[in-house]
Amino acid sequence: MEAEKWGRRIRAFRKLKGYTQERFAKDLGISVSILGEIERGNRLPTEQFLQMAAERLNIAVEELYPPGEERRLENV
């Protein structure tokens, strides 16, 4: 359930900035399947992923955090 919150926010920002899943995954250097797993809530994003995603989206990494979530992610 927690991962779904992350995935929804990441997907929303990606779409807001006009990225397709394919282009965003390529820019981040990950596979589309990994990005899809994160966006569907099947996988928690790592801190490294969040840093890279925020940089590509030109937003502060804190904007990707769901309201009330602490910085306690797995480093997969």
> Residue 56 belongs to a domain with what CATH number?
1.10.260.40
Cβ–Cβ contacts within 10 Å for residue 54, how many? 18
Report yes or no on 7 lying in a domain. yes
**For residue 65, is pLDDT > 80?**
yes
Report yes or no on 60 lying in a domain. yes
Report yes or no on 50 lying in a domain. yes
Look up the pTM and report it: 0.85
Nearest to 70 by CA among 52, 44, 33: 44
List the domain range (segments joined by +) for residue 56: 2-64
Tens digit of each residue's pLDDT (9 = 90 or more) over 8-49: 999 999 999 999 999 999 999 999 999 999 999 999 999 999
Q: How far lies 46's CA from each of 10, 18, 52, in Å?
A: 12, 23, 10
